[in-house]
Amino acid sequence: MKIIVTGGAGFIGSAVVRMLLNDTTHRVCVIDKLTYAGNLESIGEVLESPRLLFRQLDICDRTGVDAVFTEFQPDAIMHLAAESHVDRSIDGPGEFIQTNIIGTYSMLESARKYFQSLPPEKQETFRFHHISTDEVYGDLENTTDLFREDTPYAPSSPYSASKAASDHLVRAWHRTYGLPVLVTNCSNNYGPYHFPEKLIPLVILNALDGKPLPVYGTGSQIRDWLYVSDHARALYTVLTTGKVGETYNIGGRNEKRNIEVVETICDLLDELHPRPDQVSYRKQITFVPDRPGHDLRYAIDADKIKHELGWEPRETFESGLRKTVQWYLRYRDSWCKRVLNGSYKRERLGLNKGV
């Protein structure tokens, strides 16, 4: 297949691109605007692959996106490009509306125009896979509740509201125009190449730098954690075997309170990279005022993708977090340093690479 991956230089997108180029024979076209969260070093190991095409492009640019469709002639779209940080959405919601809603509309229209030009046999196999989040469901009050594919939407933040809107657009384009779509909603991802503003990499790097480890409120918020490589496998499974028009929830079956996550990271660092004074990294934990509209609990019911498509996560939270901490220790002075000092923005490699 020839697969367009939007946001392919981001955290989850880069994991998908690495998996596609390392584990399959498909050709891949990455469309990425290269905002602060887009980093070509995250796909550096496959950047020279003869099966990779890269286009630095804003998904809101219909003319540019149409040109990529014409040039690449894709068999499938994996749409991951999005603004995704809740705190940033609270401080500046406009970019989230633009990228997540208008950008998805732009991709849908380009895909629809292209799809309608295809011969029937190509239309039969074409797919538009929209990757979304469990945050569109709001939060869960009871400790035994789970997000299911038919859970009503109740987004709490500008970020989750913009993603909810994009989900609705995708389903509308399927029902109104017959565009063959797939939708997935995932739980919190973690793993290598995660931008340091997110909880797990922030805690790891702050701990190593002797900085406070900020925890919102009492740290009682519960999230279901999914190792990013497991997510990439799940997305490929849905793309290749999922039923058109269906939604699949993807979760790691690893519910943890935020304070548990932070304490586990501290314990791993105590083992793998002890402080010079032999004091536990837990001493750096600092509780800070909670953010507005902070959802208490997310938890995914991933039975549908397990029973219908045969996917399950391979990593436990313990094994995945150990791998993650080890990766950040290994790349602290390279990938992490360049992200933190901003030099990765000045060292863009292989822009608009063609095959």
Average pLDDT, the chain: 94
pLDDT of residue 141: 78
pLDDT of residue 351: 55
pLDDT of residue 331: 97
pLDDT of residue 355: 43
Q: What letter would DSSP give residue 336?
A: I
Quick: pLDDT tens for 161-178.
999 999 999 999 999 999
Catalytic residue among 41, 135, 224, 263: 135
pLDDT of residue 197: 83
pLDDT of residue 294: 77
Does the structure show a pLDDT above 70 at 138? Answer: yes
Contact present, 350 and 45 (Cβ < 8 Å): no
pLDDT of residue 352: 58
Does the structure show a pLDDT above 60 at 295? Answer: yes
pLDDT of residue 354: 57
CA 215 to chain centre: 22
Mean pLDDT calculated for residue range 234-251: 98
pTM: 0.94
Catalytic residue among 58, 83, 134, 315: 134
135 is catalytic: yes
| Structural domains of the chain in order of their starting residue, each with its CATH number | 2-191+227-253+299-316 (3.40.50.720)
Catalytic residue among 159, 190, 193, 227: 159
Q: What letter would DSSP give residue 100?
A: I
Does the structure show a pLDDT above 80 at 191? Answer: yes
137 is catalytic: no
The 3 state secondary structure assigned to 18-48 is: HHHHHHCCCEEEEEECCCCCCCHHHHHHHCC
**Residues of the chain above pLDDT 90, percent:** 87
Does the structure show a pLDDT above 50 at 49? Answer: yes
Lowest mean pLDDT among 87-91, 298-302, 330-334: 87-91
pLDDT of residue 350: 46
- CA angle (244, 249, 250) in 5-degree steps: 115
Rg of the chain taking only CA atoms, in angstroms: 20
